[in-house]
Structure 1
Amino acid sequence: MNVPLTTLTLTIATPSEVVVDTLAIRSLRAEDESGAFGIRVGHADMVTLLSASVVRWTTPDGNERFCAVDGGVLIVSNGTTVSLACREAEPGDSLAGLEAQVHRARANRLDAIRRARVEQTRIHAQAVRQMLRYLSPEKTRGEFE
């Protein structure tokens, strides 16, 4: 006798980490270009491109969990497995807490980009000074040292 499956398996991965690893869930709600949609056990196989949004799911014990994603690819296979691959994902237990986490992560990312640009400009200026030193006539080389 076949016992009907009551849970899905969810995996969310980014290039640098597996954020959610084969978690049992009852249902999932996500959003693509056509709008929001839900997935339950037995859902037809599908592949869709997600919009930047919050994916939410319900665990077997009835708790809701959330994950902010910057878009990505969602795959449903065999009516029981949901896989999501995206560049960035920020999981959370509540929407309010998730919003704060996303703001912090975005601020950290922007700060890292700013620091990288400053370092790139510094290295570029150093390279230009070095080239000028080597390309200038002998009598003016002392000005750059």
Structure 2
Amino acid sequence: MRLVVSTPTSRVVDIDGVRRIRAEDRTGAFGIAPGHADFLTLLPVSVVNWLDAEGSEGFALVRAGVLTVHGGDLVEIAARDAYTEAQLATLGDRALAELERADETEDVARLSDTRLHLATMRQVERVLRSGRASAGSEPPMLDRRGTGEAGR
């Protein structure tokens, strides 16, 4: 079986002859062996480990990715970031916690951006409404979800 772990900027792992892979998604840990059915799952910040043809174990720390199994002989992981054994040694014991914290920070930033966008759209709506009100036609007001149900 072949395992490929890649990020937007590099191919972190590309190994043939993998005998088993162990990973973890939001539902828990799972294993993949040669001949596995086609499969797709989302990976949070987690450690993926594998056993190669010589019996050596390897691992990579993956930051939020998509794992797919194709034809029982190819496992691909596309991740935001991924670190191999050698890189993990320099990151230290707190690598997993740091990556989880980075994900939480990105979630907060994304939520703030969404709120700012909605506030801007509401302000644009108010400006447009004031111009139309003076012209005598007023469209229905949008609610917070933008469905147009607020005035009804």
Q: Same fold (TM over 0.5)?
A: yes
The runs of 5 or more residues in structure 2 that have no matched partner are 103-152
CA distance in 2, matches of 1:89, 1:58: 18
Instruction: Give deviations 1:6-33, integer Å, cap 9, x for gaps.
Output: xx10000000000012433110000001
2:65 to 62, 67, 72: 72
1:47 aligns with 2:18: no
Shift of 1:102: 6.7
Instruction: Give deviations 1:75-134, integer Å, cap 9, x for gaps.
Output: 001011000000100011698x3762874xx69xx9xxxxxxxxxxxxxxxxxxxxxxxx
More strand per residue: 1 or 2?
1
Instruction: Give deviations 1:60-85, integer Å, cap 9, x for gaps.
Output: 11111010011200000101100000
Report the count of equivalent residues: 98
CA distance in 1, matches of 2:19, 2:82: 21
The runs of 5 or more residues in structure 1 that have no matched partner are 1-7, 111-145
What TM-score do the two structures reach when normalised by structure 1? Answer: 0.60
Q: Judging changes above 3 Å, is the alpha-carbon distance between structure 1 residues 100 and 75 closer, same or farther for their aligned structure 2 residues?
A: same
2:24 to 12, 27, 31: 31
CA-based RMSD of the aligned residues comes to 2.6
The residue that corresponds to 1:133 in the other structure is none
Query: Where has structure 1 moved over 3 Å in runs of 4 or more?
Result: none
1:27 partner letter: R
Q: Judging changes above 3 Å, is the alpha-carbon distance between structure 1 residues 24 and 37 closer, same or farther for their aligned structure 2 residues?
A: same
The residue that corresponds to 1:137 in the other structure is none
Identity %: 42
State which drifts further: 14-23 or 25-34: 14-23
